[in-house]
Amino acid sequence: MFNNLLKLLLNTTIKIVAITYPCATLAESLSPVLPVNFPEVPNTIPSLPERPQPEPELPPQLPTPDQLFPSPLPTPENIEETPDVSITIIVEQFSFEGNTAFSNQQLAEVTQSFLNRPITLAELLQARSAITNLYISEGYITSGAFIPPRNCNRER
């Protein structure tokens, strides 16, 4: 039954197209030719009265720079002096904590040249950098060495 209905719809569509097509062609061939000069049509649509536009609201006033950035905090009076960079220390041993990629022996080999001789703060930081560079060269790009703050006993 569905096939019969489908055939009927297809046949009907074809018949409609066949009938419509000649009519459209006939209508196009019989269209009248309009004169070129059209009379002007007056504007009969009344224009709307103009309404005054409302004034835009101004944004709120911004705070002054002094309000945004208050004066800096007063500096403390008992600031420790920056240590003298010419001071040297003698490191007898480095202590390694939290290292899992390299053994203590491997890290000690990297820092061996900084032991048992007077070194400056800059050289101590070079020892730290030597350990960090070992980690980086082996692909541990987010790992490195850290020297925690420590009070050194000068009378030793």
CA pair distance 99, 15, nearest whole angstrom: 89
pLDDT at 117 (0 to 100): 96
Domains of the chain from N-terminus onward: 10-19+86-149 (3.10.20)
The H or E element that residue 118 is part of is: strand 118-119
CA pair distance 152, 88, nearest whole angstrom: 11
pLDDT at 4 (0 to 100): 60
pLDDT at 113 (0 to 100): 96
Encode the chain (156 residues) as per-residue pLDDT tens digits: 555 655 555 554 444 444 444 555 555 555 666 666 767 777 777 777 778 888 888 888 888 888 887 777 666 665 556 556 678 999 999 999 999 999 999 999 999 999 999 999 999 999 999 999 999 999 999 999 988 887 766 554
